[in-house]
Amino acid sequence: MITLAISSLKGGVGKTTCAINLAYSCAKRGWKTLLVDADPQGSVGLSLSPSAQSYLGLYEIVASGTAFDTIVLKTKLETLKIVMAGKIPTNEISKWCASLQDGTRLAPFFKTAQEAGFDLVILDTPSGLHGPTEGILRSCSHVLVPQQCEPLALRSLMLTVDFLNQLQTENENACALAGVALTMADPDVEDTKKIVEEIRRVLPPELVFQSMLPRDAAVIHASMKGMPLGLVRGGAPPVISLVFDQLAAELETKLDLTAPEQSDEYVSLVV
């Protein structure tokens, strides 16, 4: 089972958007996918349901030992399930975040997810590489870093890469960088082009996804409706929803996501 954190040093770069839509695209490709809201703010829940704050979630599973099966939420896709952040009491948030920092507390949760047959767990994390995110990076197999195409990008990217290298020096099982996904790109803006060129120049090509997520008002529209981009009805699918499908396909190859015993079943439409 692959455990993939969606993390970045900077806030507001599109982590939650990426976690939700990438999980949806991966599930559509047949991978049994668990989307986990590991951000105590509960951003996945807030993006998907007006009643999100009433859902139990990761907090109850990890901190109170509530059974995984009673918490995990079904979706319209049989292959996609969700664990929301949970109802974390305000006065417990800092204790909860601190308890995740060393990376050991999620191991039983991942074991249960693996036993439940998931191929892929995608975790939305809070911004920054410390606190709960640090613990998640210590316990996940991979991390995908969304990177906004803006002037500060390079600086924060290099800090992120250094931090991930340091984690791997301390512990060779720490997460590997699956890749950097460029987001909120305005392909017609000259400055964006320069930043993209610079990022592709300084990072090894295998660390930057080819799929580049455009800045697209459809993201706000989907978020207002509380759904992944791929579920929005009316007219042709927005370009960005197709780019998430491409990103999922790239990721699948990079992570060597294979289910050999089911390989025929995976490609077959009729089951």
Ligand X SMILES: Nc1ncnc2c1ncn2[C@@H]1O[C@H](COP(=O)(O)OP(=O)(O)OP(=O)(O)O)[C@@H](O)[C@H]1O
Max CA separation in the chain (angstroms) = 52
CB of 151 to ligand X, least distance (A): 17
Shortest spacing between CB 40 and Mg ion, in angstroms: 11
Contact between 264 and 86 (Cβ < 8 Å): no
DSSP 61-127: HHHH---HHHHPEE-SSTTEEEEB-----GGGHHHHHHHHTTS-TTHHHHHHHHHTT-SEEEEE--S
For ligand X, the binding residues in 123-182 under the rule CB under 6 A are 127
Two tokens at 120? 């892929």
Letters for 2-21 (x = contact with ligand X by CB under 6 A, - = none) are: ---------xxxxxxx----
CA distance 228 to 143: 21
* CA separation for the pair 60, 269 (Å, rounded): 37
# residues contacting ligand X (CB under 6 A):
19
8, 16, 160, 183: residue in contact with Mg ion (rule CB under 5 A): 16
| x/- map, 21-50, ligand X, by CB under 6 A | ------------------x---x-------
Residue 239 contacts by C-beta under 8 Å, 6 or more apart in sequence? 214, 216, 218
If you ran DSSP here, which 8-state letter would residue 238 be given? Answer: P
Residue nearer to Mg ion on the CB measure, 43 or 241: 43
Q: By the 8 A CB rule, do 149 and 195 touch?
A: yes
- Least distance (Å) from ligand X to the CB of residue 223? 5
In terms of CB distance, is 17 or 139 closer to ligand X? 17
Q: For Mg ion, which is the closer residue by CB, 127 or 168?
A: 127
Residues 232-251 that bind ligand X (CB under 6 A): 240
User: Contact residues for ligand X (CB under 6 A)?
Assistant: 11-17, 39, 43, 127, 183-184, 213, 215-216, 219-220, 223, 240
User: Contact residues for Mg ion (CB under 5 A)?
Assistant: 15-16, 43
